[in-house]
């Protein structure tokens, strides 16, 4: 049975709710990027929803499909003991509104998503890298990022790999 | 069968300064506590009573790089941690030594990815590499004995003289 809030959302937000998927008792609601703040605020405050706990924000890269990023919001309602997943599809370079104003917990989640995927969040108070060094170039969790940083050494290519390694000076 | 029987009543022992210096350096090589991952657990058990690193004069793990001669890099070094290791190394007084403990510290191990330094020798000069994932305490002790051998074989005075002649030349 889908989350009862799904029908309410559909009638209230219309086009902004693109799709509702029910799989193995988990409800996923696809939301248009520009409506995410209104939907989240409603889900937090409506007495039938009360999703007051944001447990995770992350992203999935579906490259080479477009739009390539799906940003996931995992919500939990402590009052009703229910969980809900929101999905927002974003193109590369497109930014989406930050939900830090709805749940302050989104701050570091969105920083992590920006750090690893390069998804930009508008009006985020402090959108810096979270996990990687500040001078890191690129976003390693993208599917087109290189899988390994160093060619694997075998006897036949030992010399080449060894020559390219940056050894420390004494 | 002690040093007394060899010396008799003379009370005199002749050696070279280098040998005496190396003897002191090799037998009181205090490591810096620099645990990064699971290898640190093996390092702790090496240092604790069961394997007793005190037998080799290394029981005192220091918390400050200024009081230690050796870093045992025990675990995978992330790119974000790399500047910290380099800074700690630069803060240590000479002579200083590095043991890369385990596959991760030696070459990145199984972590050939964006986050891990592919061998700490990219960041600091390494004296001894200890293989294993993680190495058993016996392996680490073997690495430490190898390092002590290296220290005993070193010629600090000759190196200093060569260094000085390079500066004058």
Q: Assess whether pLDDT exceeds 70 at residue B1.
A: no
Q: What angle do CA A132, A137, A140 make, to 5 degrees?
A: 60
Q: Would A170 be classed as within a structural domain?
A: no
Q: Assess whether pLDDT exceeds 70 at residue B45.
A: yes
Partner B contacted by A152 (CB < 8 A): yes
How far apart are alpha carbons B143 and B158 in whole angstroms? 25
How far apart are alpha carbons B142 and B136 in whole angstroms? 10
For residue A14 the two structure tokens come to 């219309």
CB B123 within 8 A of CB B96: no
pTM: 0.81
The full set of domains in chain B, from first to last, is 29-147 (3.40.50.12280)
Q: Would A43 be classed as within a structural domain?
A: yes
C-alpha distance across the termini of chain B, in Å: 50
A148 lies in which domain range? Answer: 5-164
Q: Would A93 be classed as within a structural domain?
A: yes
CB A36 within 8 A of CB A99: yes
Query: Strand pairing of A53-61 and A69-77?
Result: antiparallel
| Residue B7 pLDDT | 63
Q: Which residues does residue A76 pair with via DSSP β-bridges, in sequence order? A: A53, A83
Tell me: the pLDDT tens digits for A11-48? 999 889 988 999 998 999 999 999 999 999 999 999 99
For residue A96 the two structure tokens come to 């989406």
For residue A25 the two structure tokens come to 């008792």
Nearest to A18 by CA among A3, A4, A34: A34
Q: Would A109 be classed as within a structural domain?
A: yes
Q: Assess whether pLDDT exceeds 60 at residue B74.
A: yes
Residue A97: CATH number of its domain: 3.30.460.80
Q: Would A155 be classed as within a structural domain?
A: yes
Nearest to A39 by CA among A105, A100, A71, A86: A86
* Chosen from A117, A140, A148, A149 to mutate, greatest number of chain B CBs within 10 A: A149
Contact B113 A136 (CB under 8 A): no
CB B119 within 8 A of CB B101: no
- Total domains in chain A come to 1
Give how far A167 is from chain B: nearest CA, Å.
Answer: 4
């Amino acid at each position: 049975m889908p989350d009862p809030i799904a029908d309410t959302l559909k009638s209230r937000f219309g086009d902004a709710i693109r799709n509702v998927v029910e799989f193995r008792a988990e409800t996923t609601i696809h939301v248009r990027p520009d409506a995410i703040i209104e939907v989240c605020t409603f889900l937090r405050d409506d007495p039938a929803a009360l999703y007051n706990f944001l447990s995770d924000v992350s992203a999935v890269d579906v490259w080479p499909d477009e739009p390539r990023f799906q940003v996931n919001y995992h919500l939990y309602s402590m009052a009703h003991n229910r969980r809900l997943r929101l999905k927002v599809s974003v193109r590369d370079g497109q930014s989406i509104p930050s939900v830090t104003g709805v749940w302050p917990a989104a701050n570091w989640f969105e920083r992590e998503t920006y750090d690893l995927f390069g998804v930009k969040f508008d009006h985020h108070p402090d959108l810096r890298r979270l996990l990687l060094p500040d001078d890191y170039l690129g976003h390693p969790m993208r599917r087109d990022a290189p899988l390994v940083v160093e060619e694997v050494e075998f006897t036949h290519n030992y010399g080449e790999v060894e020559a390219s390694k940056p050894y420390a000076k004494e | 069968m002690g040093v007394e029987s060899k010396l008799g009543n003379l009370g005199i022992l002749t050696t070279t300064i280098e040998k005496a210096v190396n003897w002191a350096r090799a037998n009181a090589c205090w490591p810096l506590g620099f645990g990064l991952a699971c290898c640190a657990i093996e390092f702790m058990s090496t240092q604790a009573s069961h394997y007793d690193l005190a037998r080799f004069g290394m029981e005192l793990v220091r918390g400050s790089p200024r009081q230690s001669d050796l870093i045992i890099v025990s675990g995978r070094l992330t790119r974000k941690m790399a500047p910290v290791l380099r800074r700690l190394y630069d803060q240590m007084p000479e002579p200083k030594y590095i043991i890369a403990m385990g596959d991760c510290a030696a070459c990145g191990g199984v972590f050939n990815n964006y986050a891990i330094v592919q061998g700490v020798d990219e960041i600091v000069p390494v004296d001894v590499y200890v293989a294993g994932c993680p190495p058993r305490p016996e392996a680490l002790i073997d690495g430490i004995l190898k390092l002590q051998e290296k220290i005993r074989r070193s010629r600090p005075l000759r190196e200093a003289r060569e260094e000085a002649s390079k500066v004058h030349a």
